[in-house]
Structure formats: C-alpha cells, structure tokens
Homo-oligomer: A and B are copies of this chain.
C-alpha cells in the first residue's frame, strides 16, 4: 500500500515553526498581524474567516477583523484597504472572496500593497514568483510543495504532471516547480481540458498533481506504478449513509490509485489543512520582511 502523505501532521509541523517564528518576532517588538476583511454574510465565507482567525490566535498572530455589510460600496472597501496598507501593525491583508456584485474583485485585490498580500495572488507577486524572486506564494500550491518536500519526495529532476490550469492552483503550481531553486527544479507538464490523450501524459508522471475539480477523475489506468499523487480536489458527492447527506472526495479515485502509487494524499486530511497554514506562514514572513525593511541601513 502507498505511503499516506499526512496533511494534518505536516501542517502541524509547519504551524509549530510559524508559531516559533512569530514568537521570535514578537520578542523583537513585531507582533505579526493579519487583517481579515469579510463583506456580507455568506455562510461558507464566515466559516473560512472563523478558521483563519482561530489559526492566528493559536500561532501568536494578531488578527484584525473587519466585517462590512453586504451593501458596502467599492469606494468604502478601497478606503479600508488604503488604511490597512498604511497600518504598520498589519503585515498581511486577506479579503475573503466572493465579494458582492457591486464590487470589482480585481480592483480590490490589486489595491492591496503587494508586500501585505497574504494570499500571494496579487499580480505583482505572481510575476515575482514566475521570475523566481522571493515573494509571498499562493497558499494552496505552496502547501502542495511543502507536502512533497516534507514527505521525502523532492521534485528536483522529477517529471511533475499538473492536471488543471486554474489561477489559484494549476498555473502557480507550475510556476513554483519549474524554478531553478530548492524544492523545485522539476520538469513540469501542465494539462487541461484541451489536452489530447491525457492518460498518455499522466502515465509519465513521477509526481501527479490533480486540481481539476472533478470527483475521482484520475483513475488507476491513468497513472504508472510508483507515482506520487497530490490530490487538490475537494468535491462533495451525495452519500445517504452520512448525516450531512454528502461525503468529500478528491479529484483522484483514491481506493484504486492508492494501490499503484508510492505515496498519495488523502481527501480530507491531505492538501486541505495546508492552505490556512501557508496563509499563516505568509503573514509571519511578511512581518519578518517588514521588520528588516525598518532596520536602519536597509531600504
């Protein structure tokens, strides 16, 4: 049977490091701070925001909460972003999506100071990432990279096949792993809905990253024996045996693929726990960089 890559355990490891780093910064007078902006009362968004605040509390990160009504104007939200950009206690800014229809998401996200972009989605940071410069990385693909490294599957020299080209997973994942850098140096193939003969490509993967959002799309015949699988999918499928009426499955047919794989992430408990953890890491890293910028002699 395959090695199960335990996202809960690896996430806990990283959280311990982040808490240690936050404590060291606090001792030097810099308490890392994350501003969490929620507009309206979307129940799913409320759950995510609560989890993020809880993670902050556990790791010694100050969280600053801004709950705005669903009727909030773009102008008012942009004014808040300006205020947070200028606030030295705030090192990371997270605007929970989706935003109400009257607000242009791109206008708001691009207004965040790239140095305080906790999500790593600001175009400036996406560009720096592609150029191989040090910057905040998008949380989910960065989490996938950490899962690989910390489970003994360094992607260096390996053929990584990514299925899916979303702006939040597939594209940044490719950009991260193609770099000439530690934890990267992979030969990267990115596949998608227009790929001809997908199984021919996926069967070549030493490492397969599935991020398509289709339940159990990757079947056993699509992978080679010994593959390492990172399953980014989190899909709800109806299940009458569950109290909730559904269960979570990934983009990979876990039961069948895990019999051929050398290692695989489960769903839940694989990539899922990593996203908020990497958000916390980005916040503490942003605080560290801000503290360096403020030292005399640095600019």
A7 nearest CB across to chain B (Å): 26
Given A178-B190, A194-B185, are A171 and B130 neighbors across the interface (CB < 8 Å)?
Answer: yes
Q: Which residue of B lies closest to A185 (CB)?
A: B194
When distances are taken between beta carbons in the complex, the residues of chain B under 8 Å from A201 are 159, 187
Flag if A175 contacts B165 (CB, 8 Å): no
Flag if B124 contacts A156 (CB, 8 Å): no
- A132 in the interface (beta carbon within 8 A): yes
* Cβ proximity bits A253-288 to B, threshold 8 Å, 1 near / 0 not: 000000000000000000000000000000000000
Compute how far the CA of A62 lies from the CA of B116 in the bound complex, rounded to whole angstroms: 39
Flag if B167 contacts A171 (CB, 8 Å): no
- A128 in the interface (beta carbon within 8 A): yes
Given A124-B123, A171-B175, A178-B174, are A194 and B131 neighbors across the interface (CB < 8 Å)?
Answer: no
Flag if B178 contacts A187 (CB, 8 Å): no
Interface size on A, residues (CB 8 A): 38
Compute how far the CA of A172 lies from the CA of B129 in the bound complex, rounded to whole angstroms: 12
Given A123-B124, A165-B178, are A194 and B157 neighbors across the interface (CB < 8 Å)?
Answer: yes
When distances are taken between beta carbons in the complex, the residues of chain B under 8 Å from A131 are 123, 126, 167, 171
- A146 in the interface (beta carbon within 8 A): no
- A45 in the interface (beta carbon within 8 A): no
Flag if B195 contacts A157 (CB, 8 Å): yes
Q: Which residue of B lies closest to A122 (CB)?
A: B127
When distances are taken between beta carbons in the complex, the residues of chain B under 8 Å from A159 are 196, 201
Flag if A171 contacts B178 (CB, 8 Å): yes
Interchain CB contact (< 8 A) of A133 among B123, B172, B194: B123
| Subset of 14 A-B contacts with CB under 8 Å | A122-B127, A123-B124, A123-B127, A124-B124, A126-B128, A126-B131, A127-B129, A130-B175, A132-B167, A171-B178, A178-B192, A185-B194, A187-B195, A187-B196
Give me 5 other A-B pairs in contact (C-beta within 8 A), A126-B126, A159-B196, A185-B192 excluded.
Answer: A127-B129, A131-B171, A165-B180, A187-B191, A187-B195
